Amino acid sequence: MTRKRVVIAGLGDVGVLTAIRLSRHADVVGISAKPALVSGQELGVRLSRPHDWARDYWIPFDRFRRLDGVRTVQAQLTGVDLIGRSVCCRDEDGRIITEDFDALIIATGVSNGFWRRPTLQSAAEIGAELRAAHERLAASGSVIVIGGGAASVSSALNLATTWPDKRIDLYFPGERALGEYHPRIWNRIRDRLTDRGVGIHPGHRAVVPGAFLCDEVTTEPVSWSTGQPPASADAVLWAIGLVRPNTDWLPRELLDDRGFVCVTPELRVPGHRGVFAVGDVAATDPLRSSARNRGDSLVANNVRADFAGRPMRSYKAPARRWGSLLGVQPDGLEVFFPSGHSFRFPRWSVERVVMPWIVRWGMYRGVRANDPLGYALRG
C-alpha cells in the first residue's frame, strides 16, 4: 500500500511534536520559516540567559532522531489549493515550491512581539536577534515590563534574577497578573517578584504606540489610559499579548473573525476532509490550549484514524492554563497545576532527569548532542 503524505505547515513546538508522532506512519513533509525549532516559550530565560535558552529551545531539526525520516523545507507559506490538495511556499531565493498532501496539518502558530515572528531567518540571523535583545537589556539600568500574562511575569522575574542591581517594574491592567491561571499561582509568584525587588503596578493599561505592535524594545516614556502619570525607564519590554495568527496564506473561509483557524472538536477544519489545525493557530477554545495539552498526540491520532476510516477522538480543553511559568531557576523548575498548587523539581533533577530523559527522550524521542548554536550567539 502506498504511504500517505502528510504536510505539516509550521514546525514550532507543536508542529515538531506532531511530525515526530507521524514520522513512522506516513511520508511527512514539514514546512518551516526557520532552519530549526525556535520555540516561543520561556521569553524571560531567552532575554536574560540566551545560552541556556538556546540549549533547550533552539534545536536544529537534524538533532531530532525521529525527524530523520521527515523532509523539512525552509520556506514561507504563500497559499493552499484545497481542491488540488497542495500547499505553495517561497524559499529564501524566491523560488516557488509546491507540496502535495493527503493530509494537511496547520500548525503555523501566532506572531507575538519580536520573539515570535514567521519571517524567514538563517541560524546566524536568529543568533544575532537573540544577542541584540539580551545586550540591549543588559546595558539598561532600568527596565519596564508591560503585560499581565506569563511572558511578562516570567521576563520581570528572570531579568531581576540575572541582574539584581537593575530597577525592574512590572505594569499590568488588572488587579492581578496571570488572570488565566488559578489565583493561588499569582499570589505565589508575586511574593517571588517582591523578594527580588521588582516593582509591581496593577491597574495600569498602557497606551500602545499606533505605529508599532510591540515588535521591539523601546525607550520612550509609557503613557497610561487609566490616568496615571507616564513612566520611564532605559528599556521598555512590551509583552501585552497582541498575538496575530499566522494565517495570511489561508483562505478567509477557513478562519474565524479574529483570523484563527476554525476547527471541530476533532481538530478538523470543517468541510475539508484531511485538513486539520492544532496549536495556537487553532480556534479550539478561548485559550487556544491545544498548543500546551498534548494536542499534537490527538491530531496525529486523528490523521491516522482518518486514513484508516476509524472514529476520531475529541479534544477537551482545560478550564485554566497551567505548566512552568518561570523556566529553570537557581532552585530548580516549578510546575504549576490547574488547581493552583505546584511541584518543584530540584535543579539537579532538572539537569539529570527532566531535560535528558523526560523531555529529550520522553517527548522528543531522542535528541542528539551537539553544540547549542553557541557559534551563532557569539556572532
3-state secondary structure of 145: strand
> Which overall architecture, per CATH, does domain 5-121+243-320 show?
3-Layer(bba) Sandwich (3.50)
pLDDT at 143 over 90: yes
Instruction: Find cell 493552499 and name the residue.
Output: 80
Instruction: Find cell 492544532 and name the residue.
Output: 278
3-state secondary structure of 282: strand
Q: 217 near 136, Cβ under 8 Å? A: yes
Of 235, 272, 279, the C-alpha closest to 254 is 272
Question: Is the CATH number of domain 127-241 3.50.50.60?
Answer: yes
5-121+243-320 with 127-241: one CATH topology? yes
pLDDT at 356 over 80: yes
Q: Mean pLDDT of all residues in the chain?
A: 93
Average pLDDT over residues 344-371: 90
pLDDT in tens, 28-47: 999 999 999 999 999 999 99
What pLDDT was estimated at residue 12? 95
- CA-to-CA dists, residue 24 to 32, 64, 68, 215, 351, angstroms: 20, 14, 10, 39, 30
Could you tell me the pLDDT band of residue 132, with boundaries at 50, 70 and 90? very high
What pLDDT was estimated at residue 375? 42
- CA-to-CA dists, residue 275 to 13, 86, 107, 297, 325, angstroms: 19, 11, 11, 16, 32
Q: How far apart are CA 290 and CA 281, in angstroms?
A: 9
What is residue 170's DSSP assignment?
E
What pLDDT was estimated at residue 209? 79
Edge-to-edge order in the sheet of strand 96-100: 76-81, 86-90, 96-100
How many helices (H) and strands (E) the chain has is answered by 9, 19
Q: Which residues contact 294 (CB under 8 A, 6 or more apart)?
A: none
Residue type, 358: I
pTM value?
0.93
- CA-to-CA dists, residue 330 to 44, 334, 337, angstroms: 14, 11, 21
Q: 288 near 262, Cβ under 8 Å? A: no
What's the chain's Rg over C-alpha atoms?
Answer: 21
What pLDDT was estimated at residue 1? 57
What one-character-per-residue DSSP string does 13-63 give? HHHHHHHHHHTTTSEEEEEESSSEEE----HHHHHH-HHHHHHHHEEEGGG
Which of 3-7, 47-51, 354-358 has the lowest average pLDDT?
A: 354-358
Q: Where are the domains of the chain?
A: 5-121+243-320, 127-241
pLDDT in tens, 169-228: 999 999 999 998 999 999 999 999 999 999 999 999 999 876 555 678 999 999 999 999
Q: How far apart are CA 63 and CA 334, in angstroms?
A: 27
DSSP element (H, E) containing 96 = strand 96-100
pLDDT in tens, 269-325: 999 999 999 999 999 988 888 888 889 999 999 999 999 999 999 999 887 888 888
Strand 275-277 versus strand 323-324 pairing type: unpaired
What pLDDT was estimated at residue 46? 96
What is residue 361's DSSP assignment?
I
> Cα(first)–Cα(last) distance of the chain, in Å?
49
What is residue 291's DSSP assignment?
G
Sign for the CA dihedral angle at 95, 98, 99, 103 comes to positive
pLDDT in tens, 339-351: 889 999 999 999 9
